[in-house]
Structure 1
Amino acid sequence: MPAADAARLAAILEDRTADISAAWLDRVVAELQGRTTRAEAQREQAEILDALVDGLKAGGERVDAPAFDALRGLLAELSAARARLGFTPRETAVGVFALKEGLYAVAGEGDAADVADLTALLRLVDDLGLFTFESFAAARESIISEQAEQLLELSTPVVKLWEGVVAVPLVGTLDSARTQVVMEKLLQTLVETGSEHAIIDITGVPAVDTQVAQHLLKTVVAARLMGAECTISGIRPQIAQTIVALGIEFGDIRTKATLADALVAALRSNGAARTPAAVLGV
């Protein structure tokens, strides 16, 4: 699109702003059905239109042109905000695609030259709509990734059971990403508390296969490098049978059937021999 054509398109948008905006706004409000106020939609629409006109005046020919940097930034921010608020891709992209409603209305009243100009503008709007959709998808992926990390943090707590004894109660599947989080949190807690014993409780792990066992061994080795002895608790009969059938070797790693047994063993290793009843306060 030559610079002269871009300037002519900007002039059309400025001359017919009222007509274009009215049809555009009606379509957006109808599509969003109360998800946003008319005043808010009108404000967003005005910002988009102003940025589009400025880009055209600056000679912008394609969506990725430097002249449209401000417009792309505006659409990216809008897409990210809509993604955080739970809008759908359609509800987000309609804010741009609905501009075509206003352009159609203007095209029906213009001459052949205006129609040709508006056709070029419609193609530009399509590209802007696709950019908005892609920005929304990227923003939503980022949000999902952040939420997954937060859930991972919450699902792998490290708790102090006793002076010098910490525990990691695992629930659910243990994969590589979660193992890394467990290691980091466990090692950090060992440093902060100066604990000499760590208990990894797998009562809530539904199944133990070779991969899960490898993840457990890595966590134990990492804790040992920090000077802490590890005990794996929660070895149920089914888990024990699976471990034997798979030929998994835990070597000299201490294992216990329950978390209470592991805590008693840790306390006795500290020289504080107690009965299970005393430890549990019963």
Structure 2
Amino acid sequence: MSENIEDINYKEVIEYSLEPLIVHSQLKIIYINEAAEKFFRASKEEVIERSPLDIFKDTSKPAITKRISGAYSKPAEVIEETIYRMDGTSVDVELYCHPIKIGDTRAIQTYVRDLTEKKHLENIRREMVKKINELALTIVPLLGGIAVLPLSGTIDQDRASLLLELVPVNVQKQNVSKLIIDCSGIYEMDSLVIDSLFKINNVLKLLGVQSFITGLRPQLAADAVKLGISLEDIITFSSVKDALHFSGVDYTITDQR
């Protein structure tokens, strides 16, 4: 049996939606669904007639007021905000609102998506990545104050920041006087990698640590010139073995088989 779409009771559709939904007009809440009651930890009677601005931080209210004003004519972009429930607890949410008409009244329908679980998972992932990166940035001591820092994979902004944070600390902890930074395992030499190596070299120099960079591809020099970065003060070698030989270490690989 076919049904006319006009026969659908849309109030029932939004009432039983799993996502919190608010309808407001002229800065007064005129409706919330059941999910919104649970989310805001308050009954409809406690929320209706209140201003939708009440849930926002004072610093956010001017921008939200402007956003609401524009949403009467067209849907607003999805944003992330920290809002307050009726019991005073704060929560990070994603907000989406669009214009609707209730009879002759212009109103705005706002969807609220709780980001608590998403943020929690993001924090766990960020911590895991940080721990993995910390392990990947382990300085390997050799002898006579010489150590090697083998870099591999991809260096993104977070890992570049971690390099600048951890390498100077670790060389001091391990009393390193000469550090070989081996880049042979890095997938791609981009501007971020070049800039990171340049900054690390300068920081180590200030600490009295001599640094050598090995495993650089020929394209690096050309890329550095394009970025206006001079490699004149950076000592480079094709391999870790060459850097050790330069440092006066007799590096001989013995076949143990």
The structure with higher relative contact order (CA 8 Å, sep 6+) is: 1
1:142-221 to 2 correspondence within 5 Å? 144=122, 147-148=125-126, 150-151=128-129, 154-155=132-133, 156-163=136-143, 164-174=145-155, 177-208=158-189, 212-221=193-202
Structure 1, gaps ≥5 residues long: 1-19, 29-43, 80-88, 94-114
1:1-282 to 2 correspondence within 5 Å? 28=18, 47-48=38-39, 51-53=42-44, 55-56=46-47, 60-65=49-54, 69-71=84-86, 76=91, 126-127=109-110, 129=111, 132-133=112-113, 135-136=114-115, 140=118, 144=122, 147-148=125-126, 150-151=128-129, 154-155=132-133, 156-163=136-143, 164-174=145-155, 177-208=158-189, 212-235=193-216, 239-240=217-218, 242-243=220-221, 247=225, 249-263=230-244, 265-266=246-247, 268=248, 273-277=249-253
TM-score (norm 1): 0.50
Give, in whole Å, the separation in 2 of the partners of 1:252 and 1:205: 22
Larger strand proportion of the pair: 2
Report the Cα offset of residue 154 of structure 1. 2.3
Larger helix proportion of the pair: 1
Q: What SS class does the counterpart of residue 277 from structure 1 fall into? A: coil
TM-score (norm 2): 0.54
1:106 aligns to what?
A: none
Count of residues in correspondence between the two structures: 196
Q: Which amino acid aligns with 1:158?
A: T
Give, in whole Å, the separation in 1 of the partners of 2:45 and 2:146: 64
Report the Cα offset of residue 177 of structure 1. 4.5
* 183 and 166 in structure 1: CA distance in 2 versus 1, 3 angstrom threshold: farther
Structure 2, gaps ≥5 residues long: 1-10, 19-34, 57-82, 97-101
Identical positions, percent: 16
* 140 and 233 in structure 1: CA distance in 2 versus 1, 3 angstrom threshold: same
* 162 and 47 in structure 1: CA distance in 2 versus 1, 3 angstrom threshold: same
Report the Cα offset of residue 274 of structure 1. 2.5
Please say if residues 195 and 228 of structure 1, whose CA atoms lie closer than 8 Å, have aligned partners that are also in contact.
yes
Between Structure 1 and Structure 2, whose CA radius of gyration is higher?
1
Q: Deviations over 1:45-70 (max 9, x none)?
A: 874475134733xx752233269943
